[in-house]
Amino acid sequence: MEKLTKLAEIVGTDVVEQLFQLSHWLKDVTVVHVNSTREGGGVAEILRNLVSLMRELGIDAHWEVIEGTPEFFQCTKGIHNALHGHNVVIPDRLLSVYREVNRENAERLKDVLQDADVVFIHDPQPAALIEHFPDRKGKWIWRCHIDISKPQREVWKFLKQFVERYDGSIFHLASFAKRLSHPMYLIPPSIDPLGEKNIPLDREEIVKTYEELGIDLSRPVLLQVSRFDRLKDPIGVIQAYRMVKRFFPSVQLVLAGGGAKDDPESMAVLSEVRAAANGEKDIHVLFLPTNDRLINALQRGATIIIQKSIREGFGLTVTEGMWKYKPVIGGDTGGIRLQVINYHTGFLVNTPEGAALRIRYLLSHPEVRKEMGRKAHSFVKENFLITRHLRDYLSVMISQLYNIYERLELV
């Protein structure tokens, strides 16, 4: 069965029918997505799905990945952190590496990008590709997946010189958008309910997964799934757990994550987390290879999902937990705010103390956990599944290719 048919069983046939109607406007259109990694992190995950669904709709969709040196990724990690507002100094030498690597990739991808009708460039890493395509045929859109509402000015100024050249840009939330002289679109990301990470699993599989990891499923489990990144505040989660543990001695904490290939800092953060856990037997720090089914089982077996980020683009782990009928305790930041509705789908928190308070409340109110989980699931169904996401991308392509902005005199 085609994937869209299966999706229709979950979201309704009217939703999928609308996708086909929109795709009629995009016959014979070639679209290329470009990002910096094929695995790890939310962007790769979403691209894999979007591209295959666009193909099912009859659109000629492709996905390319830029190649870089360790120095390049060191630079782009610096840019990423600086755009999040951290005070990072990026030496001019590294900025030259950034431009040079983009030039090399532009050369390598010349044929596929030059003639594409629509090109989506994801995040800062490949943003500078555009300077090497002065005579490009298609519309180029910069898709930003991170919170750049309070960037370090120098670094944003550097990046903006490239972003300004695009025909449009996409942000997750209004508060992330910058003042730019081209059309800007707001598109929150999504999850795939048919992917290995989100499909329903038998209880047996969940139990077996927990057994193999040495975690006791008969006791409460707090789970945070995240790359080992300081912005995800794993240490804050351990602090919150310790405050809860005094009142609920049976509680366990699982911090599960892997490293994205473009993230050289993850190993250092992992060591910090292990040191903070200090060998405590009920804290499970898991450094995992990519394994969607395992993450799925972990999320389904958890009592409460935590995502205590200090900054967050969107927070797909929040969406994933909510889809699995779990209440989520999330950092009061970025896209988590779009998903965690206080007292309805979970709680927003700002400190380890706040997180501990909410965890204690939920642990002692199983009926509230159940009700919140139910609301969380239907909230995701309405707003954060791949079908809604795909519809938004098709709309952007139509708006660009048919010059809707100009027709409406919006620019």
Site string for ligand UDP, 188-227 (x = CB under 6 A): ---------x---------------------------xxx
Q: Cβ distance 95 to 158 under 8 Å?
A: yes
Options 66-74, 75-83, 175-183, 315-323: segment touching ligand UDP (CB under 6 A) = 315-323
Strand order across the 283-287 sheet:
283-287, 252-257, 221-225, 304-307, 328-331, 346-349
Q: For ligand UDP, which residue of 41, 331, 352, 354 counts as binding (CB under 6 A)? A: 41
- CA 380, 386, 388, 389 dihedral sign is positive
Q: Which is nearer to ligand UDP, 78 or 313 (CB)?
A: 313
Q: For ligand UDP, which residue of 45, 262, 282, 332 counts as binding (CB under 6 A)? A: 45
Site string for ligand UDP, 236-265 (x = CB under 6 A): --------------------xxx-------
Site string for ligand UDP, 144-183 (x = CB under 6 A): ----------------------------------------
Contacts of 349 (CB under 8 A, 6+ apart): 308, 329, 330, 331, 332, 355, 357, 358
Q: For ligand UDP, which residue of 63, 120, 140, 314 counts as binding (CB under 6 A)? A: 314
Alpha carbon distance 124, 97 (integer Å): 14
Q: Is 355 an interacting residue with respect to ligand UDP (CB under 6 A)?
A: no
Which amino acid, residue 375?
K
C-beta atoms surrounding 131 within 10 Å? 14
Alpha carbon distance 187, 171 (integer Å): 6
- Alpha carbon distances (Å) from 78 to 126, 158, 160, 355: 14, 13, 16, 29
Q: For ligand UDP, which residue of 54, 316, 348, 376 counts as binding (CB under 6 A)? A: 316
**The length of the chain, given as a count of residues:** 411
- Shortest Cβ distance from residue 272 to ligand UDP (Å)? 17
Residue ranges in contact with ligand UDP by CB under 6 A: 41-42, 45, 197, 225-227, 256-258, 288, 290, 295, 313-317, 320
